A = this chain, B = another copy of it.
Amino acid sequence: MQFVQSPPLAIALTAQEMDTLRLLNVCSKYYPARTLISRQGEIESRIFVIQSGWASVHRDLASGDRQIIDTPLIGDIIGVRASEGPNNNSLSSISAVSLFEIPRQLLGRTLFTQGRPASLFARVVARQHSILIEHLTNAGRRNALVRTAHYLLELRERLAVFGMVEDNGFNCPLTQQELADVLGLTTIHVNRTLRELRERELLSFRRGFVEFIDRQSLVKLCCFDADYLDL
């Protein structure tokens, strides 16, 4: 990985911009897999940037159900909200995760007022907005098969930017339960859906590896257009 000194933002920073970021008192932290990092309903004064690993931003409902809003990956920024009130969603690690924790106040003061880093953050946030829109479209208007395919293709694109896609697939630590919570389905139905994708020889997801068997057909199946992921 070529990003060690500064938060990985999928865009190279100039030396001066990195200085700006260093001013932010950025500290790096490590969390083991399946750990709650920030709890819904509590005041959260940090902003996070994923350095490595898979995380999950989710909402837990009184019913016991859970909706995963997004699975932020390397370079993604979490928690850029302006209001001071309690956070309305939780952040957990899925795999082991290391991330930068930036005091929110510092971000507001220095980062958003200094040219390119500011617009860079704005871009990443805008992309997350696009991702969120796509997830809503998934949940609202696509069936289980298409929805699953779409999300896994999205992950591929997001990981590819960081060279984390091998020849025909990528490592994916999500359980079927987590995938279900992303897609708004039950675990069991995700299982059947993955089986159908396998039987149709489109993709296989086994033992933590998503393998694209016929990616072209898959893209066609769900009308996947990666434009929304562009920074």
> Interface on A for B, CB 8 Å cutoff?
59, 61-63, 65-67, 69, 80-83, 85-86, 88-89, 108, 112-113, 118-119, 122-123, 125-127, 129-130, 132-133, 135-137, 139-142, 183-184, 223, 227-228, 230-231
Contacts and interface: CB of A to CB of B under 8 A. Distances in A.
| Copies of chain A in the complex | 2
A176 to B, nearest CB: 16
A117 to B, nearest CB: 12
Contact of A126 (B61, B82, B86, B139): B82
Contact of A65 (B141, B183, B228): B141
A83 B231 contact: yes
Contacts of A142: 61
A46 to B, nearest CB: 15
A140 B82 contact: no
Contact of A141 (B61, B140, B141): B61
B118 A112 contact: yes
Given A83-B127, A132-B132, 10 more contacts: A61-B223, A67-B136, A67-B141, A69-B133, A81-B129, A83-B123, A83-B231, A88-B133, A112-B112, A112-B122
A188 B176 CA distance: 32
Contact of A108 (B59, B119, B141): B119
A227 B85 contact: yes
Contacts of A80: 126
With most chain B CB atoms within 10 A of its CB, the pick from A85, A130, A136, A140 is A140
A119 B61 CA distance: 30
B122 A132 contact: no
Given A81-B126, A112-B112, A122-B112, A140 B227 contact: no
A136 B70 CA distance: 10
A182 B122 CA distance: 26
A223 B62 contact: yes
Contacts of A65: 141
